[in-house]
Structure 1
Amino acid sequence: MFKQIDIRDAQQMMSNLLYCALALTAFAGNSLLCRWALADGLIEPADFTVIRLGSGAFSLYVLTLISLPAQTPFSVLAHGSFRGALALFIYAALFSFAYVSLDTATGALILFGAVQFTLIVLYLSGGKRLSNTEWLGVVLAISGFVVLLLPSATTPSVTGFLLMLIAGGAWGAYTWFGAKSQNPLADTAANFIYTLPFCLVMYIVSGKPQQLDNHGVWLAVVSGVLTSGIGYAVWYRVVPHLSTLQASISQLTVPFLAAVAGMVILGEHLALQFWSASVLVLLGILTLNLSEQPD
């Protein structure tokens, strides 16, 4: 006997799948745009971060006022949180600096691997437990990192690796905070706005302004408005409908989207080492999905 599926449940499932796919594509776009701008020296990491977060804050603020008539210019600021803004800023800043020395695919693999581990730790800290099969999935994913970091010509720099690792932890925390979001668009807009004081401090500390290339500026703006601002609002829209492990492991598809984009658009070469690591990480994702237990 086949279990009858309620039409509303099916529609909700398809809606969540669509939103999740859009958000994950946006995440891959961020890796591509940031690496594109920094690899060619079109913009400095600090400038990219400030423009990215600033343009994202402005566009989300306007979009919130247009899309949510009940919101006033000041009521938007009642949403979001300080911890969310801090996590968002740490992620965005270290993400930019890490991509100075990492290629698109490797950076994305480190970032979203760290996201997975962060969310699993938060999951366990809430009194949850992983089954043996789920632990197998985690071990497979960790093995992918071991393969990636084995000594070879393509091993990422220590500095780039550590910066991206911390960025992944911050993004994992930001995802965790979004699990209880009641107003995804307004929360995302407020979080972006509250990163602006941090951006100002970083801009001052980074020294005198550098000459900005128009191409680099536009890449940062596209990252801020589309792949960050709107992409993160979509992510906050779908995260409450995912379990912690689903939110964690789904993001590990991003490195492969980013890898393909990096090859096609930036002409980056991917060594066998990366693909071996990718297979292990994907096996970890599949194992966790098949053994998923509700939160």
Structure 2
Amino acid sequence: MGLKQINSTWLYTSVALIAFAANSILCRLALKDEAIDPSSFTSIRLLSGVVMFIVLLAFPRNGKKHNMQLLSFSGKNFLAAGTLFIYAIGFSYAYITLDTGTGALILFGTVQLTMIGIGFIRGEKLHVFDGAGIFIAFGGLIYLLYPTISTPNMSGALYMVIAGVAWGVYTVLGRASAAPLTDTANNFIWTMPLVIVLFIFTVTSANITVKGAFLAVLSGAFASALGYSVWYKALNTLGNIQAAVLQLSVPVIAAIGGVLFVFESITIRLMLSSLMVLGGILLVILRKSR
């Protein structure tokens, strides 16, 4: 892997992880204030993602039109779209009853275990440095979230576990993507039949405010559509273990975002946990580089 490719990979990865953190913040803001119900949030989020892709693909790239195979369908499309939808709806319903810290811990713990498990089944060995890095990074995440962790509501915890497994599978599928923008666009488009079914069953209980709809659009069009496309691009050169551990940085990024944009205070806990998470990630990256 050349230096240029390495730099591109980490640029894509950094943008994607920031988008993930933004997505979590937008979802929590919408559902915490009951500005929108979880089904409507999920539907608008995925629909606005589709609209964003239509806009993106309408513009030529380097003077040429995109050579896209949109609406192509295969078993992989079905699995990717299904896991994307399951993640989105599970994530939304989980945050009705879970607090931020508990939800993040369950989600990223489940994602990590799912991806490492799939990697192990496929023959990807867990090196001692990988194990140490995972232990340190996950310990840093627990330390960061410990003050806000509470005994989880069982239904909320189950929704978040399902969301974590679905996102782990979706991420693993992305490693084989040769055309990240096209594949992500197809994934969003093929969630639309599921969105229609969801709408039919939940329309009578819908609760949508202007604020809630706006947050859902931001989540879908930018943090999801663009963020997931960039993530699929980064996954071309990341292993399962790397990708799993890197996502443990999302709660830390969200916390730092709170300091920068919501003017929350910088605490010793945030600084120490950030060092632990980043140090654990560094161990895994250095082992992979070697």
TM-score band by shorter chain is 0.7 to 0.9
Q: Quote the offset at 1:290 in angstroms.
A: 3.4
In 1, the alpha carbon distance for the partners of 2:148 and 2:102 equals 13
Q: Distance in 2 between matches of 1:101 and 1:281?
A: 27
Pairing of 1:183-198 with structure 2 (within 5 A): 183-198=179-194
Specify whether residues 96 and 129 from structure 1 end up closer, same or farther in structure 2 by C-alpha distance, changes over 3 A only: same
Q: Kindly provide the amino acid, as one letter, of the partner of residue 245 in structure 1.
A: I
The aligned counterpart of 1:14 is: 7
1:161 and 2:157 aligned: yes
Q: CA deviation at 1:282?
A: 4.7
Match of 2:133 in 1: 137
Aligned match of 1:219:
215
Q: For residues 151 and 71 of structure 2, what CA distance do their matches in structure 1 show?
A: 40
What SS does the aligned partner of 1:77 have?
coil
For the residue of structure 2 that corresponds to 1:78, the secondary structure is coil
**Paired residue secondary structure (2:97):** coil
- Structure 1 residue 59 and structure 2 residue 52: aligned? yes
What are the superposed Cα offsets for residues 194-248 of structure 1, whole Å, 9 maximum, x if unpaired?
Answer: 1111112222222505342101101000110000001111111111111222211
Number of the residue aligned with 1:94: 90
Kept in 1, the 8 Å contact 2:102–2:149? The answer is no
Deviation, 1:111, is: 2.0
More deviation, 52-61/101-110:
101-110
Q: Work out which of the residue numbers 11, 17, 21 in structure 2 matches 1:24.
A: 17
The answer (yes or no) to whether the contact 1:134–1:291 under 8 Å persists in 2 is yes
Residue 281 (structure 2) pairs with residue 285 (structure 1): yes
How far 1:64 moved relative to its partner?
2.3
Match of 2:71 among 62, 70, 77: 77
Q: CA deviation at 1:108?
A: 3.2
Q: Which moved more, 1:21-30 or 1:54-63?
A: 54-63
Map Cα deviations across residues 17-59 of structure 1 (whole Å, 9 max, x no partner).
1111111100000000000111111000110000000110121
Conservation of the 8 A alpha-carbon contact between 1:106 and 1:255: no
Counterpart for residue 246 of structure 2 = 250
Unaligned runs of 5+ in 2: none
Partner of 1:4: none
Q: Normalization by structure 2: what TM-score?
A: 0.85
Check whether the contact 2:42–2:88 (CA below 8 A) recurs between aligned residues. yes
Does residue 125 of structure 1 match 2:118?
A: no
Going from structure 1 to structure 2, the CA distance change for 1:268 and 1:37 (only over 3 Å counts) comes to: farther
Matched residue pairs, number?
A: 284
Q: Using structure 1 for the length normalisation, give the TM-score.
A: 0.83
Q: 1:44 aligns with which of 37, 49, 53?
A: 37
Supply the distance in 2 between the matched residues of 1:132 and 1:94 (Cα, whole angstroms).
Answer: 33
Partner of 1:180: 176
- Asked if structure 1 preserves the Cα contact closer than 8 Å seen for 2:35 and 2:207, the reply is no
134-143 or 184-193, larger mean C-alpha shift: 134-143
| 269-278 or 48-57, which deviates more | 269-278
For residues 247 and 149 of structure 1, do their structure 2 counterparts lie closer, same or farther at Cα, with a shift above 3 Å needed?
A: closer
Name stretches of at least 5 consecutive residues in structure 1 with no aligned partner.
1-7
| Correspondence for 1:228 among 202, 218, 224 | 224
Cα distance, 1:117–1:268 mapped onto 2, change above 3 Å: farther
Q: For 1:249 and 1:146, locate their aligned partners in 2 and report how far apart those are by CA, in whole Å.
A: 14
Indicate if the aligned counterparts of 1:104 and 1:262 stay in contact, CA closer than 8 A.
no
How far apart in 2 are the matches of 1:52 and 1:256? 24
Secondary structure class of the residue paired with 1:232: helix
Checking the alignment, whether the CA contact within 8 Å between 1:16 and 1:238 is kept in structure 2 is yes
Structure 1 residues 82 and 205, CA gap change in structure 2 (3 angstroms): same
**CA deviations over 1:57-103 (Å, ceiling 9, x no partner):** 1211331243462446xx31116610000110011111111122334
